[in-house]
Amino acid sequence: MLSIAGIGAAGLILGVSSLLPSILTEWTPEAIEQLQEVLPWLALVVLLEIPTWPVSNILLALDRQKDAAWYETLTSAILFVAIVTPILLGFGVLGAVYGMVGYAVVRALGSAVWVMARLTQLQAHDVDVSQTQESRDVDPAPVSLMEQLRFSLPLGLSSYVNKLNRNIDKVVVSVLLPVFALADYTLGAQEVPIIRVIPFAIGSVLISRFVAYQLEGKNQELLDLWYRGVEKVSLLVLPLGVLSIVIAPDLIAWIASSDQADYSGAVLPFQIYNAIVLLRVTHYGSLLQAFGDSKGVLRMSLQLVALNLALSIPATLAFGIVGTAASTLLANIVNWWLYLRRIGRHLDLPAHKVLPFGRYTSILGISLGIGAIMMAIQQWGFPGMNAPLRLLTIIALFLPTYWFVGSWTQVIKQDDREQFRRWVSLTFFRSS
């Protein structure tokens, strides 16, 4: 079905390409020709990528949580490298598009090999893939096909909608603004891959325990586990999110800007886009899934697309790519609060108690304070330093300072420091 969707989406892109002269009447013929040169390659990317979208969920269904986390990490990192490396080497937007084609090929082939290897491994050990780690010792009641569809279909559609949402703002920019603006925005509208995948990884591991507590009616234990997960993720994601905002000017200058091209216009969109990371302190959908609310997951995804589209069009027309990024951030904030309200209904809590906001604000406050100091040092302490060296210097100053201040204020506790060492060594991903 997703292969058919990929073919349809690719065909739609090619169809739009032929209509560009009549749609973009204010564009120059040269700009339209350049966009028409790019769109067939983007159609190929879509054709190859869409069928791989369910891979993470397939790995989770096979009880391979760490595989799912690694899959998300690697695909995000490969895409980031595929986009920025050609630009860094001076090949411009077309080079970045070719890089995306390479990424799509690697993802398609790698996904097929990965899933087939895990299926073969399970068959070799005669494991029933319909049973998860938490349920192998339990003889579950039979579930009808209709019940399975009612639960799983919204999740599948939600995955599709989430992928659409990641690109809806870029489509708006491509239609409403010149091609050079699209180049800046494509570079700037990126989240640092490893930061984005951490909440997904934690949620993937904890969801089976959420389900167990929910089925046993242990809502307080479920809430305590949820809080602990949010606190641990916040300790890592919030400072890294702030750090990515601080180093944005030097990062963009290092990887993209050159004598032939200036991508400084991507800096502010990058900073705004990575402010969204400050909301990603957990995998919110995992708790809704634990309560069987797969329709809620789909509704939140559709809601975000609608908000993003409704806000980004006027914001882009008024403020360019900065408006696009800001509207994307605003849409995520609104949807985030609506997500908390829906989760709160399952937990019988108001939205402001769904997250441990006291700990969250303490961690965020320390991170922002250190970030402000680092920005001052960046601007006035090392004004003549080249971008790569200044970037590395700021990172080398930020992380130990956060560690020291967090430990001194008891925001980072002893068990948190042990967890940090485990995460930094990637033991979290390697352990079974």
Q: Could you report the per-residue pLDDT of 245-275, keeping only the tens digit for each? A: 999 999 888 876 555 566 778 899 999 999 9
Q: Which long-range contacts (CB under 8 A, 24 or more apart) does 104-111 make?
A: 104/44, 104/45, 104/48, 104/49, 105/48, 106/78, 107/48, 107/49, 107/52, 107/75, 107/78, 108/48, 108/49, 108/51, 108/52, 111/52, 111/55, 111/71
Judge contact between 292 and 151, C-beta under 8 A: yes
The answer to whether residues 294 and 151 touch, using CB atoms and an 8 Å cutoff, is yes
> Does pLDDT of 340 surpass 90?
yes
| Confidence class for position 303, pLDDT limits 50, 70, 90 | very high
Half-sphere exposure of 335 (CA within 13 A, CB side): 28
Handedness of CA 118, 124, 127, 128 (dihedral sign): positive
- At 363 the pLDDT is 96
pTM for this structure? 0.77
Nearest 5°: CA angle at 252, between 103 and 388? 105
Q: Which residues in 63-92 are b (16+ Cβ under 10 Å) and which e?
A: bbbbbbbbbbbbbbebbbbbbbebbbeebb
Q: What is the dihedral of CA 233, 432, 67, 292, to 10 degrees?
A: -70
CB 188 within 8 A of CB 177: no
How many Cβ atoms from other residues are within 10 Å of residue 61's Cβ?
14
Query: What gap in Å lies between CA 318 and CA 313, rounded to an integer?
Result: 9
Check residues 339 and 129 and name the one with the higher pLDDT: 339
Q: Which pairs with CB-CB distance under 8 Å and at least 24 residues apart come from 223-226? A: 223/347, 223/349, 226/282, 226/287
Polymer length in residues for the chain: 432
* Residue with token string 């870029």: 170
Least-confidence region, from 17-26, 187-196, 353-362: 17-26
More confident residue, 19 or 409: 409
Cβ 271 vs Cβ 249: under 8 Å: no
Has residue 190 got a pLDDT over 50? Answer: yes
Q: Which long-range contacts (CB under 8 A, 24 or more apart) does 352-359 make?
A: 355/227, 355/230, 355/281, 355/282, 356/227, 356/230, 356/231, 359/230, 359/231, 359/234, 359/411
**Average pLDDT score over residue span 273-282:** 92
Q: Select the more confidently predicted residue: 423 or 86.
A: 86
**Highest mean pLDDT range out of 51-65, 83-97, 280-294?**
280-294
Are 120 and 263 a contacting pair, CB within 8 Å?
A: no
pLDDT digits (tens, 9 = 90+) for 139-157: 555 555 566 566 666 766 7
Question: What's residue 432's pLDDT?
Answer: 43
Q: Which of 40, 53, 41, 68 is nearest to 3 (CA)?
A: 53
pLDDT beyond 50 at 129: no
Q: What is the pLDDT confidence band of residue 12, given thresholds at 50, 70 and 90?
A: low
Instruction: Tell me which of 147 and 301 has the higher pLDDT.
Output: 301
Given this model, what pLDDT does residue 67 score?
80
Task: Report the distance separating Cα 306 and Cα 226, nearest Å.
Answer: 28
pLDDT at position 395: 94
Q: Are 187 and 266 in contact (CB under 8 A)?
A: yes
Query: Which range, 64-73, 268-277, 376-385, is most confident?
Result: 268-277
* Range among 78-87, 199-208, 392-401 with highest mean pLDDT value: 392-401
Residues 6+ apart with CB under 8 A from 267: 188, 248, 249, 252
Q: What is the pLDDT at residue 82?
A: 87
Position 130 pLDDT exceeds 90: no
Average pLDDT of the chain, as a whole number: 81
Residues 53-78, mean pLDDT to the nearest whole number = 77
Res 182 pLDDT > 90:
no
Question: Domain residues of the chain, as ranges?
Answer: 1-121, 156-426
Is the predicted pLDDT of residue 197 greater than 70, yes or no?
yes
How many whole angstroms separate alpha carbon 108 and alpha carbon 43? Answer: 14
Position 296 pLDDT exceeds 80: yes
| Structure tokens given for 87 | 């630009």
Give me the torsion for CA of 163, 169, 172, 176, rounded to 10°.
-150
Q: Name the percent of the chain lying above pLDDT 90.
A: 35
